Structure 1
Amino acid sequence: MAQKATKTLAASNARRLNQTLYATLFIHGLFWLLRAFVFRSSFTRRSLILYLVLSAPQLFINFQFERIARPVYHPDGSIKRAGEDLEAKGLTEYMWDVMYWTYGCILLASVLGDWAWVWWAVVPLYSVYLAYTTYTGMRGGFTDAAGVPQPGAASKRQQKMEKRGGQKVQYR
């Protein structure tokens, strides 16, 4: 079993990308079907522009995931490249959140109408909130709500050493 981790990653990526592709096709198809047949009178040029602009980030993220994470195989069937890990923390995790939130907004907009696109504004507002709280925490030097600086919690070993008079350096 040579390269078991590579094979596992390639299989996991292919499965997750296929599920994402099917979910994207289903959700966007449902939007178009409901707007074309059920809510035909409320589908205007404004609705189309809102759909294109607000679903573009999800489609772009889907395209990026396909480009960086889809496994590439040699003609003999061996793995040439397994792709990037779709379970990575950080930006990849945030991109999944944006994708799922956009899915929800598309479903709400397909059933409830154009005003449901307002829910898409939660993503940038939350990002601004996180940036602001990070900035104020760094600017304040990690103080508490009253503005009192919080010292780092010392371990028991550090507390014992300080009680004895600090760490003694021995010279030879």
Structure 2
Amino acid sequence: MAQKAAKSLAVRNTSRLKQTHLITLAIHAVFLILRFTFRRSLSLKRYVFLSAPGLAIEFYLERLARPTYKPDGSLHRAGEDLDAAGLTEFMWDILYWTWINLIFVVVFGNRAWWLYLVVPGYAIYSAVTTASGLKSMLGGMAGAGAGGENDAQSKRQAKMEKRGGQRVAYR
């Protein structure tokens, strides 16, 4: 039972990569068959240009997650986890959007290629919201170190003012 987690990861990666390749092959085959038979108006240049990122990501995920075995058949490396959060998750989103976009192009025609702009639009939106959140967080930290809230009095200050003692001047 040595390396049980690595072996299960290798099996999971292999099956997910096989499924991904079959879906990609099917979607691209349908597009190309329809392009060369019924719908000659579908742009082949746009297809090559806008499918390239999805195909490059799929090739990268293949290289990253494909398990490797030693000559005796034992597991050498299980590969990286394809369900990892962060950049891997973003790459899956781009791959899925490429598939969806190809299906929309087959159904609705060349105007559906404009839907591919959702990916960079979402990336810009995420970057702007992250930067503005970071800016407001850092701005709040700078104000807190300068003395905190000026409106609220401590109990000690309130007692001192009530007795007529030392008064605190606020600016």
In structure 2, the residue matched to 1:30 is 30
In structure 2, the residue matched to 1:69 is 65
Q: List runs of 5+ in structure 1 lacking aligned partners.
A: 144-148, 151-162, 164-172
- 1:111 is aligned to 2:107: yes
Cα deviation, 1:69-119, whole Å, max 9, x if unaligned, reads: 101111221101110110100000000000001100011112211110111
Matched residues in 2 for 1:119 and 1:113: separation? 12
- Which amino acid in the other structure matches residue 81 of structure 2? D
Cα deviation, 1:6-43, whole Å, max 9, x if unaligned, reads: 10000000000000000010000010011111212x14
Deviation at 1:138, TM superposition (A): 2.0
Q: Over aligned residues, Cα RMSD in angstroms?
A: 1.9
- 1:137 is aligned to 2:133: yes
- Which amino acid in the other structure matches residue 53 of structure 2? P
Matched residues in 2 for 1:85 and 1:121: separation? 28
Deviation at 1:134, TM superposition (A): 1.4
> Structure 1 residue runs of 4+, over 4 Å off?
none
Q: Map of 1:29-48 to 2, 5 A cutoff?
A: 29-40=29-40, 42-43=41-42, 47-48=43-44
- Which amino acid in the other structure matches residue 60 of structure 1? A
SS in 1 for 2:82: coil
- Which amino acid in the other structure matches residue 25 of structure 1? L
Query: Which protein shows a greater Rg?
Result: 2
CA contact (8 A) 1:34 1:111 kept: no
In structure 1, the residue matched to 2:149 is none
- 1:56 is aligned to 2:52: yes
- Which amino acid in the other structure matches residue 35 of structure 1? R
Deviates further, 8-17 or 70-79: 70-79
Deviation at 1:142, TM superposition (A): 6.8
SS in 1 for 2:76: strand
Matched residues in 1 for 2:96 and 2:21: separation? 13
User: How many correspondences in the alignment?
Assistant: 143
In structure 2, the residue matched to 1:91 is 87
